[in-house]
Each structure stands twice: as structure tokens, then as C-alpha cells.
Amino acid sequence: MTKTSAPKILSDADVDAKMSTYVPASLPAETWEAWEDEVADMARAAEPSSFQDLTYVLGSICAFLAWSTPTHGDDDLAAQVTPDQITRYLAVLEQGGTATGTRENRRSQLFRVQRGLAGRPARKAIARGRSPFAPPYSPAEVAALRAIDAPSVTLAKLLALLDDDSTAAESVVAALEGIATEAMCREFATAGLKFDRRRWRPTWASRLVRNDLDFATLARSHGFSRNDCERYLQHHPAAPGTIDQLRG
């Protein structure tokens, strides 16, 4: 039986300590003074695991509320964090040209808040002894896929993503949507592999990271998200950069 352990969650005292020094960039000082306690409760609902995680969550909440409250008021801030509202907010960010990585981070953090406020676990338990991120396919495994005779259009498209240094995260996400899993499973089985769509994005990310490209550069040029960086570091600890570089 696989054992799971609950993710580490900051204590209320730790959250209070952070709140005493936190100053949001997206809200006026007088607004923050009025909202601080309610925002703190919303952040606790997201079950932040570290001070850094809490900082990102607070930033996402404040930016979201700066967008939502002009329309919905500020009588009940938590009630505004709904799936529909989050989706509308993310669409506005996309229309405004916000980077893919930043939008993905905001989506993840806001839905954690929403789940927590709804009384559901905000974060999934992690299986002990296993990485929370799916590993990339190795160069040898990718080579086995390339050796398949007459690959399908879909497989050829996925492999082409790895060959184009200009490919951005949005292209990878779009290519993975709607893939016929059974068909992919058959092709991967031909190469002696098991198809797992979760492994293709980290495979793409792994092939982009080079000694002359740090994560901040990749965030700007290819839409790398914080999760892309965390996935990479999980399996390639010696890397040119850290996730601390990203402040999206």
C-alpha cells in the first residue's frame, strides 16, 4: 500500500509573522490596512508550505482582489474567490499579455484558496519516497520514440516541439490537449515505454535548460512557470538558476 504524507503547512504564528511585514504591491496602503485580516484568513485557507509560498499566495490574492472589488465591492472578499471569477480574471490577464507562467501560478494559487475556503484540502498529499512531479523522458527514451517507423501525426508533432528552440509553454500545453491516450499508448509501447502526458512538458523543459540559460531568461523567452522550474530542479538539481529568480 502506498503511504502518503500531508504537505507541510505553516503555523498560524508563522502566517502572523509574515503578515506583520508584508506590503502588497497591488493595493494602496489604506486598502491593505482594511483588508489585511481577511486576506490573511484567505491565505491560510491555501495551506502555504513556506514563507516563500505564502508570499506568492498573498500576491495572487491581492492582485485578484484589486481586479474583482471594483465590480463586486469589498463586503465579503472571500466570497469573490469562485471558479467562475478566477477563470474570468485569468482571461483578463491573458488578454493583457501576462506571461503564461505567471497565469499558471495565479491559477494554481487562487484555486488553492478557493478549495480551502470551501472546506476541501487545498493541497494534495504527496506519496512518500516519490517525487511530486512526473519525471521527464530520458534522452534514450526520446530517441526510442524517434526511431518509430511512420509515427502518427500527433507523435511527430510532440517530437517536433523538442526540436524547436522557439517553442513556448503555451504550444506544449496546446499540443497535449485532446491527445488520444489509447493511440499514444500503442505508439509508446512500440518504443518500450508507457505514455504519460504529465512527463512531456518536463521533457520539453529539460531540453531547453542549458548552461547559458537561467530560469529567469526562460520565463521571459519561453513562458517557463515556477512549476516548470521546480519540476526541473527535482530531477536535475545542478541547474543554472533557482526558482527564487521568478517573481511572477
132 located within any domain: no
Beta bridge partners of 127: 4
Picking from 31-40, 147-156, 236-245, which range would have the lowest pLDDT averaged per residue? 236-245
Last residue of a domain, one of 126, 159, 177: 126
Helix, strand, coil tally for the chain in percent (to 5): 60, 0, 40
Do residues 147 and 191 make contact, with C-beta atoms less than 8 angstroms apart? yes
| DSSP strands (E only) in the chain | 4-5, 126-127
Q: What is the model's pLDDT at position 125?
A: 52
75 shares its domain with 174: no
Domain span including residue 160: 139-245
User: Is pLDDT above 80 for 1?
Assistant: no
- Tell me the pLDDT tens digit for each residue of 127-143: 444 455 667 888 899 99
Task: Report the number of distinct structural domains present in the chain.
Answer: 2
Mean pLDDT within 14-40: 93
- Tell me the pLDDT tens digit for each residue of 176-210: 776 767 778 888 888 888 888 778 888 887 777 76
Locate 142 and state its grid cell.
526520446
162 shares its domain with 73: no
131 located within any domain: no
The DSSP bridge pattern shows strands 126-127 and 4-5 to be: antiparallel
CA dist., res. 225 & res. 248, Å (int): 8
20 shares its domain with 120: yes
Last residue of a domain, one of 126, 147, 170: 126
